[in-house]
Structure formats: C-alpha cells, structure tokens
C-alpha cells in the first residue's frame, strides 16, 4: 500500500483527492492536514463522504508516508517545502503552480512526460486550463505544425477555489458569463513551455480568452489555427499521438462538458473549416485538471497501472 498524506485537505482539490484515494486499492490515507479544520471529521467539510471515512483533519504531519500531496495555495507550496525538511524517501506531488516552470520537479502531464513522471520523486501537477489547452495542441506540436494559435475557454466556478469572492458569489455567477485575464492567464507560461518541448522553434503568439461559466465544474476549450492537413489526416494524427494514453480520446461526434464531468477523461473533437483546423477539448477541472491527474501521476510514480482507482463514471444527465 502507498501511504499518503495530504496538506490542505479542506479545499476542492483535497476533497477530490480523498474521494478517489479512500477507494483506491493501493493507497492508504494516513493523515489529512488542515489548519482551519483541526480535529474535525473530514465529513464535516466533505459531507458527501459520510459513511465512507472516519478520518479527521490534523495540524500535524506523520512522516511515515510514501507520498505527500500539496493541495495548498499558489506560493504556499514553495514556502511549505522551505520550512519543512522532508526525507528523500517521501515523493511529492504539488497541485499549485509553484514548481511548474522550474527544473526542481517533473511537469506532470502524462500525455507529454509519462516516462519522466515514472522515474520522478517530485511532480508538479499541471493547471486545469493548461491541461485542456495542451491536450488540444500537443499532436500539432509533436508534428511541428503549430502556427499562431487562437483559443477560448470556459470554466466552472470551482476553478476559482473554495474561498468565496465577488466573482464566485451565486447571485453574480448565476445566469451570467464574463471574460477575465484576456491574453494574460497565468497558465499560458506552462503551455508555452510544454509546446516548445515538442516544437522548440515555436515562437508564435498563443492568444487565449478565458471565460467564467455559470456552472460548477468542467472546462471546454476551442482552439483554431491554419493547418494544411485534410481533416481525416488530422484525426489520424491525433489518434496516433494519444494511442497508449488511456484517458484522452478523439470523438467523431461533437462533444459537451457533461461527457467528462466527474471523470479523469479528456475528449477531443476536430473540425476543418476552410484552411482552419478547429480543435475542441473538454475536461473536468477538478479531476483531469487537478486531483484525478495527480492520482494518475501517483500511479505512474509507483509503477502501477495509471488507470488504477480512476474508473469514474460521468454524470451525463
């Protein structure tokens, strides 16, 4: 059994990790750390887990573990690791953005870095928008076909985290939509780094317009660029690239977010309009965009089937 600790277990990503790990056949959750919920049952926050776990939140760490998940805010992970010396025997998966751009950790996108993840002690889990965007574009980069890219994407309210704000308040979010961080979204740096890993000479703009949606979870990305391939060739290229990657699928039919909510899947659909290739990708921002992908990385780091514990069913209705 993989003995697991979670730092920051009261938030959305911590809750999703618990939902997966308490039923994972090769994982045991040793402790769930939270300064704000000390000694309270995990079910007092994650109420859907009633009857499934007796775990309580703790403000102490048990270092008799094999793996530590960091589910704390951006900037907090780097501070935590500076303040806490962990034995080299403990592997780390960080779900913040603190280590995605440096060389301290392996970037944890299995469809890009599966071999490196399998050998790593320290993995930086990708961002949610970054995951959906990269999975839409990696086959183009792999084949040296990236041009200037135009992207739009919409995400559910859980993408903003558990702490309430003016733009996540129900009265503002319901029956509403807005753009934000136009062309300046923080995930674009990691997207650019990954694309250049496959196409080093790529230096064109990545023009991204993100939107806040009036739903709770899920991401839909639409990307388009000039492409010389006929549609059939593009579809074959994408299917060939994702062969052997069990969570990413190319659909012949148009796609919608409900196909992937509550799963670790990414589904992609391709269309050709004149000289433009249009790529749509969908993921659950909390699973393939965060905690599900983190467990996928855990499986790879410990030599397990990467699908283990992630046989999740979408809520189609």
Whether 166 is in a domain gets the answer yes
One domain for residues 60 and 156: no
Report pLDDT for 74.
85
Whether 87 is in a domain gets the answer yes
One domain for residues 144 and 56: no
One domain for residues 86 and 201: no
Please give the Cα distance from 84 to 243 (Å, whole number). Answer: 40
Please give the Cα distance from 28 to 2 (Å, whole number). Answer: 6
- Going by C-alpha positions, the residue among 137, 247, 243 that lies closest to residue 187 is 137
Based on the structure, what is the number of domains in the chain?
A: 2
Please give the Cα distance from 314 to 317 (Å, whole number). Answer: 9
One domain for residues 195 and 58: no
One domain for residues 236 and 116: no
- Asked about 128 being catalytic, the answer comes back as yes
One domain for residues 169 and 260: yes
Report pLDDT for 50.
96
One domain for residues 144 and 271: yes
Please give the Cα distance from 266 to 281 (Å, whole number). Answer: 7
**Residue 23 phi/psi, 5° resolution?**
-110, 5
One domain for residues 108 and 165: no
Whether 226 is in a domain gets the answer yes
**Block residue for tokens 């467990």:** 295
Whether 235 is in a domain gets the answer yes
The answer to whether the CB of 16 falls within 8 A of the CB of 292 is yes
One domain for residues 39 and 97: yes
Q: What is the CATH number of the domain that holds 143?
A: 3.30.360.10
One domain for residues 251 and 297: no
Point out the residues of the chain with pLDDT beneath 50: none
Report pLDDT for 165.
75
Reduced to 3 states (helix: H, G, I; strand: E, B; else coil), residue 117 is helix
Report pLDDT for 22.
96
One domain for residues 140 and 65: no
One domain for residues 238 and 257: yes
Please give the Cα distance from 208 to 188 (Å, whole number). Answer: 8
Please give the Cα distance from 255 to 186 (Å, whole number). Answer: 26
Whether 191 is in a domain gets the answer yes
Question: What distance, in Å, lies between the first and last C-alpha atoms of the chain?
Answer: 35
The answer to whether the CB of 260 falls within 8 A of the CB of 102 is no
Whether 308 is in a domain gets the answer no
Between vectors from CA 280 to CA 230 and to CA 249, what angle results, nearest 5°?
85
**Residue 224 phi/psi, 5° resolution?**
-145, 150
Q: What is the CATH number of the domain that holds 62?
A: 3.40.50.720
Domain housing 152? 128-283
Report pLDDT for 54.
95
Report pLDDT for 317.
80
Give per-residue pLDDT as tens, 25-75.
999 999 999 988 999 999 999 999 999 999 999 999 999 999 999 999 889
Report pLDDT for 170.
81
Report pLDDT for 12.
93
């Amino acid at each position: 059994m993989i003995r697991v600790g979670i730092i920051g277990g009261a938030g959305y990503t911590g809750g999703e990790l618990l939902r997966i790990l308490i039923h994972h056949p090769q994982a045991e959750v040793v402790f769930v750390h939270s300064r704000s919920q000390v000694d309270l049952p995990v079910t007092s926050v994650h109420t859907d887990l009633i009857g499934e776990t007796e775990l309580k939140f703790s403000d102490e760490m048990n270092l008799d573990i094999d793996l530590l998940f960091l589910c704390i805010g951006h900037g907090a992970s780097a501070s935590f690791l500076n303040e806490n010396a962990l034995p080299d025997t403990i592997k780390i998966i960080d779900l913040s953005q603190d280590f995605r751009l440096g060389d301290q950790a392996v970037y944890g996108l299995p469809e890009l870095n599966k071999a490196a993840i399998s050998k790593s002690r320290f993995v930086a889990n990708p961002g949610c928008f970054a995951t959906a965007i990269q999975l839409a574009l990696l086959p183009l980069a792999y084949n040296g076909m990236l041009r200037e890219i135009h992207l739009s994407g919409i995400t559910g309210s859980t993408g903003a985290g558990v702490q309430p704000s003016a733009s996540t308040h129900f009265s503002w979010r319901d029956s509403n939509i807005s753009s934000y961080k136009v062309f300046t979204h923080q995930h674009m740096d990691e997207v650019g780094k990954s694309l250049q890993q496959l196409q080093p000479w790529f230096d064109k703009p990545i023009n991204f317009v993100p939107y806040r949606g009036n739903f709770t979870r899920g991401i839909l990305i639409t990307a388009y660029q000039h492409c010389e391939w006929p549609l059939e060739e593009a579809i074959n290229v994408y299917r060939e690239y994702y062969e052997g990657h069990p969570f990413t699928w190319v659909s012949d039919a148009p796609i919608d977010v409900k196909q992937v909510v509550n799963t670790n899947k990414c589904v992609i659909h391709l269309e050709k309009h004149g000289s433009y290739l249009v790529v749509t990708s969908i993921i659950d921002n909390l699973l393939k965009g965060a905690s599900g992908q983190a467990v996928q990385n855990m499986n790879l780091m410990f030599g397990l089937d990467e699908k283990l514990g992630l046989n999740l069913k979408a809520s189609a209705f």
